[in-house]
Structure 1
Amino acid sequence: MSTAESISEPLAGDRRHLPEPPVLIQGGMGVGVSGWRLARAVALAGQLGVVSGTALDATLARRLQLGDPDGRLRHALASFPVPEVTERILRRYYVAGGAGAGAPYRPVPRLGLRPNPARDELTVAANFAEVFLAKEGHDGLVGVNYLEKIQLATPAAAYGAMLAGVDYVLVGAGIPAEIPRLLDDLAAHRAAELTVAVAGEDDPARRHTVRLDPVALLGREVPPPARPRFLAIVSSHVLAAYLARSEATRPDGFVVESPVAGGHSAPPRGRLRLDEEGDPVYGPRDEVDPARLVALGLPFWLAGGYGTPGGVARARAAGAAGVQVGSAFALCRESGLDAGLRERMLRSARAGTLRVRNDLRASPTGFPFKIADVPGTMSDPDVHAERSRLCDLGYLRTPFVKPDGAIGYRCPAEPVDTYVRKGRPAEETAGRQCLCNGLLAAVGLGQNRPDGYREPPLLTLGQDTGFLDGLPDDHGAADVIARLLAE
C-alpha cells in the first residue's frame, strides 16, 4: 500500500477521512509567525497550512488590547460555541480603539499544574479563533503546531483547535507519545489528561498531569469535534520507530526535521563537538535513513534544507509524501513577522550576509535553537546585556519538586539569584535568552515595561537560505508553492 493510499483511507473510530496527503506542509513557526493569514493562504493553494499554537492565549489577549483594528478576532470569537466565554474574554482584554502607544499589556494567567478555568477558557478560545480564521471560506487543509515541551497548555490548546475543525495536529520538541490518546479523548468529549514531567520527582507513585474536562470547562455539552490527524515531528528514524510500534502512541505520520531546520533542534548524538563558529557539529549518527521510515508504513515529510524544487524531488524519490518548508514561508508577505524585521532579513539573506547560529545556550529548554543575527535584536550582545532578566510569561518554565514536596517553577532565563534559590547552579543561566518575550516582540507584540523599556525581538530561521533563489523580491505564499511544485 502506498503512503498516499494509507493516509486517505478511513481509520477506525472517529478519525477524520481526509483527502490525499499534501506534498507541502508549511511549518508552524515561532509565536505568531505562522498565523492564520499565512496558513489560510497555503491552504487555499491546495497544501497544508499550519498555524503556530504556541502562546496563542497571549497573542489573542494582546491583539484585543490593541483594539483588534480589522475586527477579525472578534468575528472569530463570535462563532465560539459558548458565548459566555467570549463575553468574559472581551470584558477582560478588549480595548476599543486600542490601549495607546507604550501602554503595558495586561498579563494572561501563567501555565501551571493547578486548575485555572480562566486560563483554560482563554487558551481554548484563542486556539479556536486562530484555526477558525485560517479555515474560513474554503475547504483546504489546516493544521496546528505545538511544542511537546509546553505540556501544560496542550490539552486546552488542542481542544480549542479541534472545536474549529482543525485537520492536522503536529507536535515536536520532545516525545509526543500521549498525543494520540489525548486527541481520542477530546474527540469523544471525555476528560483528557497529559503527563507532565516534573524535575526532581523520585516517587514513582506520584504522577503529575494536566487535565481538561470539556463539559465541565464550558458548562454545557457542545457537539463533539472531529478527531484530527496527528503528525509527530521527530529528528530520527529511531524515535519514529518507537512511536510507531504501539497503537497507543502511533501517529498518522511523521515530519522528520534535519539539524538545519529553524527553531529548536535535537542536540547531536554522541560526543559534543563545536565548529569554528561555535555551532554544534552533526555527524552520521544524526542522519535519518529514509528506508527505515518507509518500512514503518506511515507517510512522512522531510524538513530542513528541502525548500527547493530539487529538495522536493529528492524527498519524493526517497519515499517521502513530500516536504515541510518553514523559512521561505516565514519571510513571505503573509507571515506574521513584523514587516520591518522581515524586510531586513530578506535583504540580508539575498545579499548572503545573514548568519543563523545554532545556539547551544539560548533556549531555556536546553535544546539548540537557531538565532538569526540581526542588529538591534536579542542576537546583539549589547541588546541582550541591556535587558533585565525576568520571566513573566513562563511558557518554558520547568515544574520541579521543592524541598517541602510542593511544586515550584523555574527557568534559567529568570534572574540568576532567583534561579539559584530554586536549587540550580548559576552556570545554567549563562547565555540564556527569554524566548517567550523575544518571539512575541518579533511579531510586533513585545511588552512595554512601566519604566519605558520595550522588549526587543528575537528572530529564528532555518540555516539554509537557498530557498530564496527564483523567488520574487517580495514573495508571497503562492510564489513559494508554485516554485516548489514546478517540477
Structure 2
Amino acid sequence: MAVAHTELHPVPTPRRERPRPVVIQGGMGVAVSGWRLAREVAKAGHLGVVSGTAMDAVLSRVLQNGDPGGHYRRALAAFPSRAMAERVLEKYFIEGGKAPAMPYKPIPKLTLQTARAGQELAVVANFAEVWLAKEGLGPDAVVGINCLEKVQMATPTALFGAMLAGVDYVLMGAGIPREIPQLLRSLAAGETGSISADVLGGRIKRTISVDPVDLLGQDLPAVERPDFLAIVSVDQLASYLHRDPQIRPDGFVVERPPAGGHSAPPRGKLQLDEHGEPVYSSRDEADLAKMAALGLPFWMAGAYGTPELVAEALGAGAVGVQVGTLFALSLDSGLADETRAQLLDQLRSDELTVRNDPRASPTGFPFKVATLEGSASQTEVYEARPRLCDLSYLRQPFEREDGEIGYRCAAEPVHMYVKKGGDVEDTVGRKCLCNGLMANIGLGQHRKDGYVEDILVTLGQDLAGAKELIKRYTSGWRAVHALQYLQEALPAVRLAAV
C-alpha cells in the first residue's frame, strides 16, 4: 500500500540547508512554548520551538473558549483540507466562548489505532501551532516542534501536521527515538508513517501509524523532511544512533540532568539524596570530545542559561545551547498570567525552588516540579485531588491475557490500575501531569462537581540566568531580552542575529 501511495502525489520538496542557530528555545510542557514564543525567537534569528504535546487538547479548548483573537481559526483556514478543518471547528468552536464553569468537551483518547476524529484533530492542531509560529516570517526563520518519545501514540499525527505547516526541525527525547528519521522520510514521501509501539507484555510487534493519503486524499501537498535533532543525555546513546544511517539524526541536543521537565534517570541503581531527589554522577554526563568526534552538530542543554555557559558550550565544540527556563518565565510564553506572576514573585524574593521528583511522573522518568503554593507540588493539594485519568497522554499500552490491548496510567484511580494488572507500588506519589500542565496555561478542566484542576509547573533546576534577568527587568522580560543576555559573552558578530 505504501508503495502505491508514492506514485499518487508529487515528489517531496528538495531539502534545503537549514540555519544552525546558537540558541534553541526549549519545547516545554504543554503549550508553554506556544506559537507566540516560538515566533519571537525565530524572528530574532534563532530556533523557536513549539511543544507538540497535547496540541489536540489545546486547540479544542481554545476553540471552546471562543478562540480569542481568531488566531487558530486563521490557521485552520490555511489547512490543506478545508473539510477536515471545518469538522474540527464544528465540533469544538463556541462563538463568544463557553461559560467559565462549564466543563470542556472530551476529545478522543490516544490508542494504538486512534479514532479518525482524534487523528484529524491532532493533525490540524499541530499544523495550526507551527503555521502560526511561521506566519509571515521569511525562509531564514526556523521553527521546530518538540515531541516526547514516551508519548508514542501521539507522534505520527503530530509530526504529519507539523510537516504540513513546513516545520524546520523536529526535536525528541524522553526515550530512544531511533525510528523518527524513517518516520519523517516516509511522511515526506507521502507514504504511511509508522513507529513501533512499546506494549508491556506484548508478544507480537505492533505499530502506530498515520496514512497521509487516507486522511487528505491522493492529491497531497508536497512536504519537506525537517531536520531531526535527537535529545540524548550521554554520548553512548548518540554513538548508537549515529552508527546506522537509517536511524541517524541530523544532530543532537545533549541534555544534562538539571534540565526541566522529564529527564533521564541516573545510570545504575537509583539512589536518592537527603531531599529525596535522584543522585547523578559523572556517569550521567556526556563526553563532549566524543560528541564532537561524531561530526554532527550538537547543542548543550540543562543549566546553560547564562552567557558564560553559552560561551563554554561553544568552546567545547557545540553549535550552541538549548534553554528552557528563561523562555518559560518570559512574558512571551504560554503560562497563564497569574501562574507566571507567582513564579516571578518567588524569583524576586529568591524563594523559587525546583525539585527533581522521582515519583511525580507516571512514566517513571524523574520530573522537575516548581514548588508553588496552591499547586499539585504540595502534598495536601495533591492528596485532595480525586484521582482520574481522562486526557490519558501518558497511558501505557499492555497486552492482556486474551491478546487484546489495554491501557493504564499509574496516576489513575489505584483500584483501576491494579485491576488492569499494575503494581500498587507504582501508583504511590504519581501525579496527573496531563491535567496539571493544561492548567498551567489557563486551560485547566472544570469538573461537573465544581472541582477545578490545579497547576503543576515544571522548570529547570538552574535559576542563575533567571535571577539575573529579573534584576534587569523587574516587571518581567521578553524572549528577545533572554536571547540578548545569553549571547553577551560571544563575539559581536554572533549578536547580529538579535
TM-score (norm 2): 0.93
* Distance of 2:464 and 2:187 partners within structure 1: 41
Please state how far the C-alpha of 1:20 moved relative to its aligned partner.
3.2
Write the deviation string for residues 45-72 of structure 1: whole angstroms up to 9, x where unpaired. 1000000000000000000000002000
1:46 aligned residue: 45
Q: Which runs of 4+ in 1 moved over 6 A?
A: none
Q: What stretches of structure 1 of length at least 5 have no aligned partner? A: 1-12
Query: What amino acid maps onto 1:75 in structure 2?
Result: R
* Distance of 2:49 and 2:248 partners within structure 1: 21
1:415 aligned residue: 413
Please state how far the C-alpha of 1:394 moved relative to its aligned partner.
0.6
Percent identity of equivalent pairs: 57
* Distance of 1:200 and 1:207 partners within structure 2: 11
Equivalent residues of 1:25, 1:48 under 8 A apart? yes
Please state how far the C-alpha of 1:27 moved relative to its aligned partner.
0.1
Write the deviation string for residues 406-448 of structure 1: whole angstroms up to 9, x where unpaired. 1000000000000000112211100000000000000000001
Correspondences of 1:346-357 after superposition (within 5 Å): 346-357=344-355
1:5 aligned residue: none
* Distance of 2:135 and 2:17 partners within structure 1: 17
Equivalent residues of 1:76, 1:133 under 8 A apart? yes
1:71 alignment partner, SS class? helix
* Distance of 2:269 and 2:181 partners within structure 1: 33
1:305 alignment partner, SS class? coil
Correspondences of 1:35-434 after superposition (within 5 Å): 35-139=34-138, 140-201=141-202, 203=203, 206-434=204-432
TM-score (norm 1): 0.96
Query: What amino acid maps onto 1:160 in structure 2?
Result: G
2:144 alignment partner, SS class? strand
1:171 alignment partner, SS class? strand
1:211 alignment partner, SS class? strand
Equivalent residues of 1:15, 1:229 under 8 A apart? no
* Distance of 1:477 and 1:124 partners within structure 2: 28
Equivalent residues of 1:371, 1:458 under 8 A apart? yes
Please state how far the C-alpha of 1:18 moved relative to its aligned partner.
2.9
1:146 alignment partner, SS class? strand
Write the deviation string for residues 173-216 of structure 1: whole angstroms up to 9, x where unpaired. 00000000000000000111110100011x3xx21101111011
Please state how far the C-alpha of 1:276 moved relative to its aligned partner.
1.5
Write the deviation string for residues 140-185 of structure 1: whole angstroms up to 9, x where unpaired. 1100000011111111110100000000000110000000000000
Query: What amino acid maps onto 1:480 in structure 2?
Result: A
Equivalent residues of 2:13, 2:223 under 8 A apart? no
Please state how far the C-alpha of 1:272 moved relative to its aligned partner.
2.1
Equivalent residues of 1:16, 1:229 under 8 A apart? no
* Distance of 1:274 and 1:357 partners within structure 2: 12
Write the deviation string for residues 218-254 of structure 1: whole angstroms up to 9, x where unpaired. 2342222111000001111110100000011100000
* Distance of 1:421 and 1:39 partners within structure 2: 43
Query: What amino acid maps onto 1:482 in structure 2?
Result: Q
Please state how far the C-alpha of 1:328 moved relative to its aligned partner.
0.2
1:448 to 439, 446, 449: 446
Query: What amino acid maps onto 1:346 in structure 2?
Result: L
1:377 alignment partner, SS class? coil
* Distance of 1:453 and 1:220 partners within structure 2: 46
Query: What amino acid maps onto 1:188 in structure 2?
Result: A
1:482 aligned residue: 484
Write the deviation string for residues 2-38 of structure 1: whole angstroms up to 9, x where unpaired. xxxxxxxxxxx96632343000000000001000000
* Distance of 1:175 and 1:98 partners within structure 2: 41
2:50 alignment partner, SS class? strand
Please state how far the C-alpha of 1:115 moved relative to its aligned partner.
4.5
Q: How many residues align?
A: 472
Query: What amino acid maps onto 2:129 in structure 1?
Result: E
Equivalent residues of 2:108, 2:114 under 8 A apart? no
* Distance of 2:290 and 2:487 partners within structure 1: 26
2:16 is the counterpart of 1:17 = yes
Please state how far the C-alpha of 1:351 moved relative to its aligned partner.
2.0
1:276 alignment partner, SS class? coil
Please state how far the C-alpha of 1:320 moved relative to its aligned partner.
0.2
* Distance of 1:475 and 1:56 partners within structure 2: 26
Output the aligned Cα RMSD.
Answer: 1.0
* Distance of 2:292 and 2:68 partners within structure 1: 48
Query: What amino acid maps onto 1:477 in structure 2?
Result: A
2:496 aligned residue: none
Equivalent residues of 2:19, 2:142 under 8 A apart? no
Query: What amino acid maps onto 1:280 in structure 2?
Result: P
Equivalent residues of 1:129, 1:164 under 8 A apart? yes
2:109 alignment partner, SS class? coil
Q: What stretches of structure 2 of length at least 5 have no aligned partner? A: 1-11, 490-498
